[in-house]
Amino acid sequence: MRSLSCSQIGAFTWCQKQWYLHYIKKFWSKEKSQVLSFGIAFHEGMETMMLDMIKQGTITDVMIKNAFTAATYSYTLGKNKGESPDTWNPILDKLINAMAEMLRGMDFEPFISEGFFRVPGFVGKIDCVAKVMGKITIVDWKTSGKAYTKAKVRKDPQLTAYSWIYAKAHDQMAFGVVRKDTHKASWHPTTRTPQQIEDYKVYVDRIRKLMTTQRVFVGIHRESKCKWCDLYPIHCEGEDDF
């Protein structure tokens, strides 16, 4: 049985053609969008900070500097479209410092950073698992251009998937969000019920069935098209690709 991930499911529901070219034919763009590159850079910085915290405990100024260095190095290495690192490095600096200051004021003890977890048919990489106020908590780092609503946090499928593959933290999950416009960090705790997790499993099985039985993959046209969308569907012949 093919192991799916949040990224695969997101790609399929956004544009079936994109999913087919990426995950079946293994076509990958060498260039990353500025938004994607920035998000990857911030995650690299937070991974470095969490690994330092796991080893040393309390956040120090040296840890923050190490995190910023990792983030800017990642952004510089990426083949980015759009602004140069000179534009975004000061913003990365402010956002990493904002997240560090928020975590300093919390009872926050990470013990896993960028951990891979698997259940039959599904795999995921969790940004961080930490004890927050004594509770095991799944943490997902987000960079956002706007505020997160409670409804968005409650319904986010990524946290539901993570609570499935890391069952120890059903009762405690959170987004650590930094706003690129205001350079502020915020914490959004949430939970998932057993029914939400079962509903997500049903949804994953439904998507898996479409992936393995469908033979025509089309671009899903919206006002904001992805770069893979055009007027021509892809026809898949036979079972070899799956």
Greater confidence (6 vs 238) lies with 6
Q: What is the pLDDT of residues 18-56, one digit of tens each?
A: 788 888 887 766 666 677 788 888 999 999 999 999 999
User: What is the phi/psi pair of residue 84, to 5°?
Assistant: -80, 165
Q: For all residues of the chain together, what is the average pLDDT?
A: 82
Confidence of residue 228 (pLDDT cuts 50, 70, 90): low
Token digits of residue 122? 């599904």
Which pLDDT score, from 0 to 100, does residue 126 have? 94
How many Cα neighbours within 13 Å face the side chain of 35? Answer: 5
> If DSSP states are collapsed to H, E and C, what string results for the chain?
CCCECHHHHHHHHHCHHHHHHHHHCCCCCCCECHHHHHHHHHHHHHHHHHHHHHHHCCCCHHHHHHHHHHHHHHHHHCCECCCCHHHHHHHHHHHHHHHHHHHHCCCEEEEEEEEEEEECCEEEEEEEEEEECCEEEEEEEEEECCCCCHHHHHHCHHHHHHHHHCHHHCCCEEEEEEECCCCEEEEEEECCCHHHHHHHHHHHHHHHHHHHHCCEECCCCCCCCCCCCCCCCEECCCCCCC
Q: What is the pLDDT of residues 63-103, one digit of tens each?
A: 999 999 999 887 665 555 555 667 778 888 999 999 999 99
Q: Where are the domains of the chain?
A: 31-192
Note the pTM of the prediction, 2 decimals: 0.82
Q: What is the pLDDT of residues 156-211, one digit of tens each?
A: 999 999 999 998 766 688 888 888 788 889 999 999 999 999 999 999 999 999 88
Confidence of residue 216 (pLDDT cuts 50, 70, 90): low
Type of residue at 211? M
**Between the CA of residue 212 and those of 24, 26, 66, 183, what are the distances in Å?**
11, 17, 44, 43
Residue 216: strand pairing partners: 235
